[in-house]
C-alpha cells in the first residue's frame, strides 16, 4: 500500500524579510585547528528566508523567498555563480524528512514514498530521467543514479517496511540491477523517513528502533549497524551526516554525537560534545575533522535569523563560531565540505560553502 508521509512539503512562510543589526551576525571566517576569527558585516543584515534542500558536486538547490515574503522558485545555484530555476521539485527539506542532500548533482524530483514513476533531475543541466518503479515498491531516496525503495507489509496489525531495494538506473531510465535488502535480526526498517543521509556509495538507514542505524553499501546491499546511544527509543529524533571520511549520528537532545570512521563504521566511536541552545534543536553536519552544529527553532516559530553555526573539532575542544546566525539546514557536499545559509560580510543573507583546506582549516565561500 502507498505510504502517506506525515508531513507535507514545507512552504516558505510570509513576512520573512527582517533587518538585523550588524553586531548580531558574522560571515567571513577561517577556522584553524582551535579558533575562529569572524569578520562582522559592514551593513545591517537583511534576513530573507532561504531554505536549503540539497548540495551536489557543482551546486546547491535552495528556495529563497521573494521580496514580499511570498515563496520564491526552487533554484539551482552553481558554485560558479550560475543559476537555473526548476519548474517543479517535490524533494524533502533536510531536518524535516531525515534527508540530507544527494551526494551528486542529481535530485529526486518526484514525490517521495510514491510508487509507479520516479523522476531523477540534474538541476545543473535540466536533464531528467524517468524510471518505472517495480510494482509494490515505493521510493525513499535517490543518490546519483541509485534509487532506494521500500516494500511494506502488515505485521501484528502495523504496517512495516520489511525490505529495501537498491535500484541502479541507466541514463535511459532502465533498471540495470535490483538488490533486495533485509533488515538485521530483530529490526524493521522505519517506514517513514527511512533514509537519513547518503551519497553515491552508501546510505544511512533508520530502523524502527532507535538503538542503531544502518550503513547500507549501495553496491552490495550489505548493512553494517552503528550503535546510536539514543536516550529513548524514538527513531524520528535521530539525525546522521555522511562525509567522505566520517559518519556522525546524533539523537536530538543528547549532549554528544557519535562519530565513526567511514572505512570502519563498526569500529571505535568518538563522542563529540554538541552545544545546546535553549531556543532551538541542534542539527549536525560534518566538514573535514569538524562537527558542524546549527539550530532548528521550535515548530511554528516565525522565520528569522537562527542560532549560530558552530564547528567543534572531532578530537575534542572548544566550539568555534562560523556564523553567529544561520538557517538550520546543513547540506553535505560530496568533496567533504557543506553548504549553509547565513549573512555575508556585506549583510546579504545567502548560501555559503564550507570548504576544507589541505591543512584541515575551514573557510566560508559566498555563493
Per-residue pLDDT of the chain (367 residues; tens, 9 = 90+): 444 333 333 333 333 433 333 333 333 345 554 444 444 554 677 899 998 888 998 999 999 999 888 989 999 999 998 999 987 776 655 444 444 456 678 888 888 777 889 999 888 888 899 999 999 999 988 888 999 999 987 665 667 788 999 999 999 999 999 999 999 988 889 887 889 999 889 999 999 899 999 999 999 999 999 999 998 999 989 999 999 999 999 999 999 999 999 999 999 999 999 999 988 899 999 999 999 999 988 888 888 888 999 999 999 999 999 999 999 889 999 888 999 999 998 889 999 999 999 999 999 999 9
The answer to whether 339 touches 331, Cβ cutoff 8 Å, is yes
* Distance of alpha carbon 234 from alpha carbon 218, whole angstroms: 26
Neighbours of 284 (CB within 10 A): 22
Top-tier CATH class for 26-366: mainly beta
Phi, psi dihedrals of residue 235, rounded to the nearest 5°? -70, -20
Task: Give the predicted TM-score (pTM) of the model.
Answer: 0.87
Tell me what percent of the residues of the chain surpass a pLDDT of 90: 56
* Torsion from C-alpha of 42, 276, 37, 271, nearest 10 degrees: -150
* Distance of alpha carbon 248 from alpha carbon 236, whole angstroms: 16
Quote the Cα angle for 113-173-90, to 5°. 35
Query: Tens of pLDDT along 156-192?
Result: 566 778 899 999 999 999 999 999 999 998 888 988 7
Question: Which contacts qualify for 84-89: CB closer than 8 Å, 24 or more apart?
Answer: 84/123, 84/124, 84/126, 86/61, 86/121, 86/123, 89/53, 89/61, 89/121
- DSSP H or E segment with residue 118: strand 117-121
Amino acid at each position: 500500500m502507498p505510504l502517506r508521509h506525515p508531513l507535507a512539503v514545507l512552504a516558505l512562510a510570509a513576512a520573512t524579510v527582517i533587518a538585523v543589526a550588524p553586531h548580531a551576525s558574522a560571515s567571513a571566517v577561517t577556522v584553524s585547528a582551535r579558533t575562529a576569527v569572524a569578520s562582522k558585516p559592514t551593513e545591517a543584515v537583511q534576513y530573507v528566508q532561504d531554505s536549503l534542500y540539497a548540495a551536489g558536486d557543482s551546486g546547491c538547490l535552495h528556495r529563497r523567498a521573494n521580496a514580499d515574503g511570498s515563496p520564491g522558485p526552487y533554484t539551482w545555484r552553481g558554485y560558479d555563480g550560475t543559476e537555473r530555476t526548476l519548474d517543479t521539485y517535490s524533494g524533502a527539506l533536510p531536518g524535516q524528512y531525515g534527508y540530507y542532500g544527494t551526494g551528486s548533482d542529481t535530485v529526486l524530483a518526484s514525490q517521495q514514498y510514491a510508487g509507479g514513476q520516479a523522476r531523477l533531475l540534474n538541476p545543473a543541466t535540466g536533464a531528467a530521467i524517468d524510471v518505472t518503479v517495480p510494482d509494490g515498491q515505493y521510493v525513499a531516496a535517490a543518490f546519483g543514479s541509485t534509487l532506494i525503495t521500500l516494500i511494506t507489509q502488515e505485521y501484528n496489525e502495523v504496517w512495516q517496511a520489511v525490505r529495501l531495494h537498491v535500484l541502479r538506473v541507466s541514463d535511459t531510465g532502465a533498471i540495470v540491477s535490483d538488490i533486495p535488502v533485509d533488515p538485521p535480526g530483530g529490526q524493521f526498517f522505519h517506514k517513514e523517513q527511512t533514509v537519513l543521509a547518503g551519497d553515491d556509495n552508501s546510505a544511512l538507514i533508520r530502523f524502527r528502533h532507535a538503538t542503531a542505524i544502518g550503513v547500507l553499501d549501495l553496491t552490495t546491499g550489505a548493512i553494517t549497524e552503528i550503535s546510536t546511544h539514543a536516550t529513548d527509543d524514538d527513531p524520528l529524533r535521530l539525525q546522521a551526516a555522511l562525509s567522505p571520511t566520517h559518519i556522525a549520528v546524533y539523537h536530538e537532545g543528547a549532549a554528544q554525537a557519535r562519530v565513526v570512521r567511514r572505512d570502519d563504521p563498526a569500529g571505535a566511536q568518538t563522542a563529540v560534545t554538541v552545544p545546546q541552545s535553549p531556543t532551538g534543536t541542534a542539527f549536525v553536519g560534518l566538514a573535514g575533522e569538524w562537527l558542524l552544529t546549527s539550530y532548528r527553532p521550535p515548530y511554528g516559530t516565525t522565520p528569522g535569523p537562527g542560532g549560530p553555526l558552530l564547528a567543534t573539532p572531532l578530537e575534542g575542544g572548544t566550539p568555534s563560531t562560523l556564523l553567529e546566525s544561520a538557517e538550520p539546514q546543513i547540506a553535505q557536499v560530496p568533496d567533504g565540505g557543506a553548504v549553509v545559509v547565513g549573512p555575508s560580510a556585506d549583510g546579504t543573507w545567502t548560501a555559503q560553502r564550507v570548504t576544507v583546506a589541505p591543512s584541515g582549516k575551514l573557510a566560508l565561500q559566498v555563493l
